[in-house]
């Protein structure tokens, strides 16, 4: 099966596409903006969706910003968004732990200050954020470090202070199978087009903890369908009338497929049309699952599908 190009739809096809959903979920980085630069036309598309009574949610795997910080970014780049529209993985992780962790226990966090901030906002007790580097040797470290007795969960998000002692502590807490293991997301890298650098993302930290702990985490971010459960609980969305827009197929598109949404890939981020064409031809069902229903050059291409009056 190959994806349908939005730009080549007939007038009727465009209308049918537009009328096929009431709710839009969209990824942010690579779809609405790249770093601090808005994708041309993106702010207007969001306005037009709202004008046409489409519900919009912004769904990002980013765990380095709190809800409030993300909202500031939306506003500074000219996007209309309110706090309930923005769903990020630090918020989701806090929500999951609030619901599943014994409140007398604490979370050992590998992650950013923003992640701790979201946990604090829901009164989920936590520790671990910040620098934790090896001052001595591993045997001396192990002789002197004390494992806390009230740890009920290990949470792994993006942490630029990731270090060997953090890895050791996380794996040691996870030895107790009653300790929950939660990851914000498993993205391998941040996308930085044209750079010499590869910027490792949360997935690289999660996999090293997994390797040592010999356990799989519960992932709250895309492509996990946990977000969908949260959304359906609070917003009563209908999956069959929901469109997921993203730039990364192994998170955004796979997430949409798993939730029963329509899926649209924009070519302004991680994956290219060439990737989609290759997967379409593959016999591997795991690759087939990455093929979006639709694709478009950019989110701006969607404006051609709006009713003429808008």
SS3 169: helix
Pairing label, strands 33-34, 37-38: antiparallel
Q: Which of 29, 132, 159, 252 is catalytic?
A: 29
Stretch that binds its own copies, among 9-17, 47-55, 83-91, 189-197 (CB under 8 A): 189-197
193 sits near its own copies (criterion: CB under 8 A): no
Site for its own copies in 124-143 (CB under 8 A): 131, 133-134, 137-138, 141-142
Stretch that binds its own copies, among 83-91, 210-218, 241-249, 274-282 (CB under 8 A): 210-218
Residue 302: CB minimum distance to its own copies, A: 30
Residue 27 assigned ligand-binding role = yes
Question: Quick one: 233 exposed, middle or buried, by C-beta within 10 A (0-12, 13-18, 19+)?
Answer: exposed
Residue 222 assigned ligand-binding role = yes
2 sits near its own copies (criterion: CB under 8 A): no
Residue 132 assigned ligand-binding role = no
**Half-sphere CA count of 159, side-chain side, radius 13 A:** 27
Candidates 152, 203, 246, 269; binder of its own copies (CB under 8 A) is 203
162 vs 226 by CB, closer to its own copies: 162
From residue 217, alpha-carbon distances to 96, 153, 174, 188, 299 in Å are 13, 11, 10, 15, 33
Residues 6+ apart with CB under 8 A from 305: 6, 9, 14, 15, 17, 18
How far is Cα 192 from Cα 181, in angstroms, rounded to an integer? 29
Site for its own copies in 168-187 (CB under 8 A): 168, 171-172, 174-175
Stretch that binds its own copies, among 50-58, 99-107, 159-167, 273-281 (CB under 8 A): 159-167
- Residue of 235, 244, 179, 233 lying closest to 24 (CA atoms): 244
Pairing label, strands 218-219, 189-190: unpaired
Stretch that binds its own copies, among 12-20, 66-74, 202-210, 220-228 (CB under 8 A): 202-210
Q: Which of 16, 27, 143, 293 is catalytic?
A: 27
Residue 137: CB minimum distance to its own copies, A: 7
162 sits near its own copies (criterion: CB under 8 A): yes
Candidates 197, 274, 285, 308; binder of its own copies (CB under 8 A) is 197
Residues 6+ apart with CB under 8 A from 24: 49, 54, 55, 56, 57, 242, 243, 245
Q: Is 238 a catalytic residue?
A: no
How far is Cα 162 from Cα 151, in angstroms, rounded to an integer? 19
Q: Is 29 a catalytic residue?
A: yes
Question: For residue 114, what is the enclosing H or E element?
Answer: helix 113-121
Annotated binding site for Mg(2+): 27, 29, 247
* List of residues contacting its own copies (CB under 8 A): 131, 133-134, 137-138, 141-142, 147, 159-164, 167-168, 171-172, 174-175, 188-189, 195-201, 203-205, 207-214
């Amino acid at each position: 099966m190959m994806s349908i190009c939005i730009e080549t739809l007939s007038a009727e096809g465009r209308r049918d596409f537009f009328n096929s959903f009431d709710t839009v979920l969209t990824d942010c980085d690579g779809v609405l903006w790249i770093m601090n630069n808005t994708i041309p036309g993106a702010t207007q598309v969001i306005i037009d969706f709202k004008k046409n009574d489409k519900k919009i949610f912004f769904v990002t795997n980013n765990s380095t910003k709190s809800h409030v910080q993300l909202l500031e970014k939306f506003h500074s780049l000219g996007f209309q968004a309110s706090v309930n529209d923005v769903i990020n993985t630090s918020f989701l992780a806090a929500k999951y732990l609030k619901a599943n962790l014994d409140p007398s226990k604490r979370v050992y966090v590998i992650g950013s200050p923003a992640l701790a901030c979201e946990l604090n906002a829901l009164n989920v007790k936590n520790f671990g954020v910040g620098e934790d580097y090896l001052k001595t040797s591993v045997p001396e470290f192990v002789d002197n470090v004390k494992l806390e007795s009230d740890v009920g969960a290990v949470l792994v998000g993006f942490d630029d202070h990731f270090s060997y002692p953090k890895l050791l502590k996380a794996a040691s807490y996870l030895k107790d199978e009653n300790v929950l293991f939660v990851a914000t997301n498993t993205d391998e890298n941040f996308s930085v087009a044209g750079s010499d650098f590869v910027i490792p993302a949360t997935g690289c930290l999660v996999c090293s903890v997994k390797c040592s702990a010999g356990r799989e985490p519960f992932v709250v971010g895309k492509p996990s369908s946990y977000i969908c459960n949260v959304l359906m609980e609070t917003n009563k969305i209908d999956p069959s009338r929901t469109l997921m827009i993203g730039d990364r197929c192994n998170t955004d598109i796979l997430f949409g497929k798993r939730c029963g949404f329509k899926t649209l890939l924009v070519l302004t981020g991680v994956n290219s049309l060439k990737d989609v064409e290759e997967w379409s031809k593959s016999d591997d069902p795991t690759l087939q699952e990455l093929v979006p229903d639709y694709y478009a050059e950019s989110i701006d291409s969607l404006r051609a599908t709006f009713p003429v009056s808008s």
